Amino acid sequence: MPEPATDETTLFRQSWTLYDSLAERNYMFHREIYAHVTALLSQRRAGGPYSLLDLGCGNTRFLAPCLKSAMPSRYAGVDLSEAALKEAREYLSGLDHVALHHQDMLQAVQAAEVSFDIIFSGYAVHHLDAKGKQELFHACAAKLTAGGQFILVDVVREEGQTREEYLEGYLDFMRTQWTAVRPDHLEEACDHVAAYDFPETFSDLKRMAAAASLTHVRLVDRFAQHHVLVFSA
């Protein structure tokens, strides 16, 4: 599908190495978060073979080791960045039954012809507006197998906090804590967050999930604004 000239993914489609450099320095707690993801997938794998759909998969640099620790029987990754998908093929080498799709994540779930035991998304859903998030919850609920789980890694606003208040705090966190990032790259990342980040509160996410019949919600852990959440029926 053709890519729009400007959207919430533009920065990372054009400069995927910038995201990698931020993640490598653990500014968004990737090490702690993906240790939890490994544990969740290992727990699921202990119950038998499972399939996984990865929404906004990027280059899978952090998820791939989790998958290799708890091999899925089938993996599908979806992203708008062709450059990231090209790298993902390398990171996912060794896994069986891998499919990568250059596609919008909401459209991908809605159009999926098969169900999945796990739907995963890492740092992508906050780019959707509230309507888009609700549509995504409904789409995920419809494509999960019985007993399936939607594992969400994302930033979350505090209860009662406005988006503007969230952005003020998060941008200050970036500018004061992300000290190893080149100033021009830091400002590029800050501009991206200010323009395209629309995180919800935990209660809003629970309400959206419940509206889609995903009534069981578990907060696995949180690291400042960064949460690991599991939604299931």
| Tokens linked to 34 | 């993906």
Amino acid 188: pLDDT = 87
| Tokens linked to 33 | 């978060």
Amino acid 8: pLDDT = 53
Amino acid 159: pLDDT = 98
pLDDT along the chain (233 residues), means of 10: 44 62 88 98 97 96 97 97 92 96 96 97 96 98 98 98 98 95 88 95 98 98 98 96
| Beta bridge pairs of residue 54 | 77, 120
Amino acid 102: pLDDT = 96
Amino acid 34: pLDDT = 97
pTM over 0.85: yes
Radius of gyration of the chain (CA): 17
Backbone angles phi, psi at 152, to 5 degrees: -120, 120
List domains and CATH numbers for the chain.
10-155+199-232 (3.40.50.150)
